[in-house]
Amino acid sequence: MTSKPVDLPADLASAYLALLSEREMLQAERDVVVAERDTVVAERDIAVAQAANAQAMLSDSEALIAKLELAIEKLRRELRGKRSERTARLLDQMELQLEELVMAATEDEVAAQAAAAKTASVRSFTRKRPVRKPWPEDVERKRVVIDPPGTCACCGGSRLSKLGEDVTETLEEIPRRFIVIETVREKFSCRDCEKISQAPAPFHATPRGFIGPHLLATILFDKFGMHSPLNRQSTRFKCENIALSTSTLADQVGYGTAALLPMFDLIEAHVFAAERLFGDDTTIPIQAKDKCTTGRIWTYVCDDRPYGGTAPPAAIYYASSDRRGEHPQKHLAGYGGILQSDCYNGFEPIAVAATKEVPITFAFCHAHARRKFFELADIQKSARDRKRKGKPISPIALEAVKRFDALFEIERQINGLGAAERLAARQQKSKPLFDDMHAWLKRERATLSKSSEVIEPIDYMLKRWDGFAGFLEDGRICLTNNAAERALRGIALGRRNWTFAGSQRGADRAAIMLSVITTCRLNDVDPKAWLADVFARIADLPVSRLHELLPWQWKAHKGAAIAAAA
Interior CA angle at 81 toward 80 and 87, to 5°? 100
pLDDT at position 351 is: 65
Res 384 pLDDT > 70? no
Q: Kind and range of the H or E element at 315?
A: strand 314-320
Band of the pLDDT at 220, cuts 50, 70, 90? very high
Q: Which DSSP state fits 211? A: B
Asked which of 102-111, 304-313, 379-388 is least confident by mean pLDDT, the reply is 379-388
pLDDT at position 541 is: 86
Q: Which residue has the higher pLDDT, 333 or 271?
A: 271
pLDDT at position 290 is: 64
Q: Which residue has the higher pLDDT, 87 or 450?
A: 450
Range among 126-135, 155-164, 454-463, 513-522 with highest mean pLDDT value: 513-522
Asked which of 34-43, 245-254, 262-271, 530-539 is least confident by mean pLDDT, the reply is 34-43
Share above pLDDT 70 across residues of the chain, in percent, rounded to a whole number: 87
Res 1 pLDDT > 60? no
Question: Rounded to whole angstroms, how far apart are CA atoms 228 and 220?
Answer: 9
Return the closest-CA partner of residue 539 out of 284, 224, 200, 295.
200
pLDDT at position 563 is: 61
Q: Collect contacts of 450-453 with beta carbons under 8 A, ≥24 apart.
A: 453/376, 453/394
Amino acid at residue number 251 = D
Asked which of 84-93, 389-398, 435-444 is least confident by mean pLDDT, the reply is 84-93
Question: Rounded to whole angstroms, how far apart are CA atoms 165 and 162?
Answer: 8
Return the closest-CA partner of residue 174 out of 138, 142, 208.
142
Res 89 pLDDT > 70? no
Band of the pLDDT at 301, cuts 50, 70, 90? very high
Res 268 pLDDT > 60? yes
Mean pLDDT along residues 120-128 = 77
Question: Rounded to whole angstroms, how far apart are CA atoms 381 and 412?
Answer: 27
User: What's this model's pTM, rounded to 2 decimal places?
Assistant: 0.74
What would you report as the CA-atom Rg of the chain, rounded to the nearest whole angstrom?
A: 32
Res 524 pLDDT > 80? yes
Provide φ and ψ at 260, rounded to 5°. Answer: -90, 0
Band of the pLDDT at 140, cuts 50, 70, 90? confident
Mean pLDDT along residues 245-268 = 90
Burial 418-440 (b: 16+ CB within 10 A, else e): ebeebbebbeebbeeebeebeee
Check if the beta carbon of residue 373 is closer than 8 Å to that of residue 397. Answer: yes
Q: What is the residue-averaged pLDDT of the chain?
A: 82
Band of the pLDDT at 84, cuts 50, 70, 90? very low
Q: Which residue has the higher pLDDT, 136 or 533?
A: 533
H-assigned helices in 393-430: 395-413, 419-425
Return the closest-CA partner of residue 448 out of 370, 376, 369.
376
Provide φ and ψ at 193, rounded to 5°. Answer: -115, 0
Q: Which residue has the higher pLDDT, 46 or 518?
A: 518
Return the closest-CA partner of residue 506 out of 286, 265, 226.
286
Question: Rounded to whole angstroms, how far apart are CA atoms 54 and 116?
Answer: 12
Provide φ and ψ at 205, rounded to 5°. Answer: -65, -30
